[in-house]
Amino acid sequence: MTDTLESSPPPTTGMFNDDEQLHQKLFELQLEHRALDDMIHRMSDAVYVDQLQLRRLKKRKLQLKDAITRLRSRLIPDIDA
């Protein structure tokens, strides 16, 4: 029997799996946000800029920022008051 990452036991609770999925989604959104930021900076430095495309990229970047913020707040554990 070989030991691989794929043969590791499943998580013991559904909540752990949900958190893992949220962390993965958060990571993906952060990557896309950084890529858009780089693209926006490159476009802004160009001599000829497609203003409509630039506006769309900025809007998508803002949507990603909002989604990242929502995911981060979901990952914060609830504290009983």
| Residue 70 confidence (pLDDT) above 80 | yes
Residues 26-66: tens digit of each pLDDT: 999 999 999 999 999 999 998 899 999 999 999 999 999 99
Say if 5 falls within a structural domain: no
Average confidence (pLDDT) over 11-18: 58
Domain that residue 70 falls in: 16-75
Retrieve residue 75's tokens.
């990952």
Model confidence at 16, in pLDDT bands (50, 70, 90)?
A: low
Say if 3 falls within a structural domain: no
- Please give the tally of structural domains in the chain: 1
Say if 10 falls within a structural domain: no
DSSP states of the chain: ----GGGSPPPSSHHHHHHHHHHHHHHHHHHHHHHHHHHHHHHHHSSS--HHHHHHHHHHHHHHHHHHHHHHHHHSPP---
